[in-house]
Amino acid sequence: GGSTNTSRRRADTLAQFRIHERCRITIMPGGDFCHGLLCVEALARARSGRGKLYQYDIFDSHSDLVGKYDYVFLFDVLEHIEQPKPFVSCVLSYVKPGGLLFVNVPAMELLRSEYDDAAGHFRRYSVASLGREFDHCEVKIRQGMYWGFSMVPLLLMRKLAVKGMKDEQTIIRSGFRPPHRWMNSALRALSATERALLRRPPCGSSVMMAIEK
């Protein structure tokens, strides 16, 4: 029946979450999917694809959108919010009862550097501290885990490389873009090795979490 299919889709989504290093958690067939982008320039540059694109203030709580979504994805957003708890409460209002919110954030305050300041990061998270952002909500943390263990040494090197830099654009260019094209291939190979050897890394450059409403 319908409930069985919904449960199966949710289980499939969580299964994909467990191999999250690929960052390819997909919307299941039949789901309604939209993107909410704050930056008008980013919205203009976004490639057309499945679903609709909105420039939308989520605190407007439009009745056509609240409680509509089986899955909501909040990737690399929460670290930019100075007061996260009102924000996550509002985000959760768009999730159907029994639906899932997937969150990805940068991890480990040890890795914090001038790059985080330039990128507008108020904080980096641990699994525990990310979970605490939802302790005022009636939700269940289905899973939380680190990923990007192999990236930790590289981010420590980035921390040293940008130390003392003042110009934000220079920091972003130095801290985000690989120095050589072959580096992307090397990082993909490193990530594949990590996935093969470490199913649940003890730490990592990011935290991903699945929250059930």
- Per the DSSP assignment, residues forming a β-bridge with 36 are 54
Query: Per residue in 20-58, pLDDT tens?
Result: 333 222 223 334 455 554 456 666 666 766 777 777 788
- Per the DSSP assignment, residues forming a β-bridge with 66 are none
Task: Please give the pLDDT value at position 169.
Answer: 87
State percent of the chain over pLDDT 90: 51
Q: Is 142 exposed, middle or buried (0-12, 13-18, 19+ CB in 10 A)?
A: middle
State percent of the chain over pLDDT 70: 74
Contacts of 37 (CB under 8 A, 6+ apart): 43, 46, 53, 54, 55
Helical (H) or strand (E) element with 71 = strand 69-75
Query: 74 falls in which pLDDT band (50, 70, 90)?
Result: very high
Task: Please give the pLDDT value at position 212.
Answer: 97
DSSP state of 178: -
Bigger pLDDT: 6 or 174?
174
Q: What is the C-alpha separation between 92 and 58, in angstroms, rounded?
A: 10
State how far the alpha carbon of 124 is from the alpha carbons of 5, 28, 116, 130, 206, in Å. Answer: 37, 30, 9, 9, 9
Q: Mean of the pLDDT values across residues 78-101?
A: 94
Secondary-structure percent of the chain, ordered helix, strand, coil, rounded to 5: 45, 20, 35
* pLDDT for 77 beyond 80: yes
* Tokens standing for residue 63: 């009745």
Task: Please give the pLDDT value at position 3.
Answer: 47
Give me the chain's average pLDDT, please. Answer: 80
Q: Mark out the alpha helices in the chain (DSSP H runs).
A: 2-18, 40-45, 84-92, 114-119, 127-132, 152-162, 168-176, 182-197
Bigger pLDDT: 205 or 195?
205
First and final CA of the chain: distance in angstroms? 22
Task: Please give the pLDDT value at position 179.
Answer: 61
- Highest average pLDDT, of 124-128, 162-166, 191-195, comes from 124-128
Q: Please provide residue 34's backbone torsions phi and psi, each rounded to the nearest 5 degrees.
A: -140, 160
